[in-house]
Amino acid sequence: MAVTSGFVLFAVVWFMVLFVTLPIRLRTQGDEGEIVPGTQAGAPANFNLKRTMLIVTAVAFVVWAIIAGVIISGVISVSDPDWFGRVGDR
């Protein structure tokens, strides 16, 4: 795997983990009962961006390391999911 491929894979994994973790433990202004004028009741009450980004980065790094390890080791190759024989031998 080239360096660029590693960065792209990490970016994809990072954003996937971000979108999965955003709604976890979310407390909205409606839940808290303190709606700031001009905002929706579904807006986050106290969103800690730094903590969320650190957690997402740590989890994404672990997931990325597992995926990159599988790709580099060759446990799963390009030909493995080719059930119809279109890729050929590699």
Model confidence over 54-88: pLDDT tens digits? 999 999 999 999 999 998 998 887 777 878 877 76
pTM beyond 0.85 = no
Amino acid symbol at 47: F
- Check residue 90 and give its pLDDT: 54
| Six-digit token string for 66 | 């597992």
pLDDT score of 5 more than 80 = yes
pLDDT, one tens digit per residue, over 13-59 is 999 999 999 999 889 999 888 888 998 998 898 889 999 999 999 99
Q: Are 62 and 52 in contact (CB under 8 A)?
A: no
For the chain, percent helix, then strand, then coil, each to nearest 5?
Answer: 55, 0, 45
Spatial CB neighbours of 55, under 8 Å, sequence gap ≥ 6: 21
The answer to whether 67 and 13 are in contact (CB under 8 A) is: yes
